[in-house]
Amino acid sequence: MLFRSAKMIPSPGSLLVIRIDHIGDVVMATSVLAPLRKAFPEARIDLMVPSWAQCLLSDEASISGLKVFDAPWFRRERRGLWYGIRGFLDMVRIIKRGEYDAVVDLRGDARHILASFLAGVKYRISYGITGLGFLLTHEVPYDENAHEIDKNAALLGPLGIRCEEAQVGLVPSKKSELEAENIRKKEGIDRPYAVLHMFSGRKEKNWTPEGFAGVIDYLQTQKKLLPVIVGSKEDSVYIKGVARKTPQKVIDLSGKVNLNVLGPLMKNAEIFIGLDSAPAHIAAVSGVQTIILFSGVNDPARWAPRGENVMVIYPGEGKSLDTIAPEEVIREIG
């Protein structure tokens, strides 16, 4: 692979990896951490993530520390130009204080590239796909059709690292496992269960309430599994609407489970069924049988989690999940 600079970067004493956008992207970013630590066992390797990711990654053994930054440009609410400028300057200060030898921005975002440049980082690695690629010391060619994990791995090339089979790595802490156990006891999850995630932040990724209700009926009556539904607090109204369409008992954990607890909760389940969203990535890492309903707005060849127990149901490019019948999902459950 050719870079804009042909020179490999000498072994860095300190390095920052930036991934500050969305949950699924942050989860997939963990795929570069173990290869970096293996290549540079003595280096200080920090990971910049949004504040919501702290609980998910605080026990990550491959990194030295987390640098928390909530980028204004990835917030759903808009607060004006000055708010964005002030946030950008905060990012520059965080990077500058770290005195990093190298920065790897996994997104290829012009704002992150500029912040690294203004912070005086000697080696700056990323994709120049949104502009300012000329400010990078090592601009890596961008393969639009590659899986996102492979795109992340390619950015390690200028550091002399080759990882042909990079994998997401999320190891839950003992504390998280204990929290999951306490939730199971408190909520009465006292028999084999299935975990479902039924609502995505993008409505075009969602399946029909009737579809999920049909799957819940099958899980209860045929598989004898207790349906356990996870989601944000805001999802509870949608979840209650689905629950009203089935006579079966469901456990609604919306707003009750932090990201760090999802992994151990999934690990002890019989199966996970959900949408193209962060819980699906966490389920795939946990090793549980995972069925993901992938709408046509994203290409599963690029975005689907990897794993031996992962099955993707995909209606085709541009097509809605409304075309998927409950029977198609039930066949994959077995």
pLDDT tens, 301-324?
998 988 889 999 999 999 999 999
Give the neighbor-by-neighbor strand order of the sheet with 251-252.
251-252, 226-230, 193-197, 271-275, 289-293, 310-313
Q: How many CB atoms lie within 10 A of CB 84?
A: 16
H helical segments located in the chain: 23-29, 33-39, 54-57, 81-98, 110-118, 148-154, 174-186, 209-221, 236-243, 259-267, 278-286, 300-303, 326-333
DSSP 150-212: HHHHHTTGGGT---TT--------HHHHHHHHHHHHHTT--S-EEEEE---SSGGG---HHHH
Structure tokens at 93: 């200060």
- pLDDT value at position 3? 53
Among positive and negative, which fits the CA dihedral 206, 209, 214, 219? positive
pLDDT digits (tens, 9 = 90+) for 143-183: 999 999 999 999 999 999 988 777 787 878 888 999 999 99
Average pLDDT over residues 73-100: 90
Band of the pLDDT at 246, cuts 50, 70, 90? confident
Band of the pLDDT at 234, cuts 50, 70, 90? confident
Q: Which amino acid does the sequence have at 219?
A: L
- pLDDT value at position 2? 46
**CA–CA distances in Å: residue 316 to residues 165, 247, 294, 321:** 26, 32, 9, 9
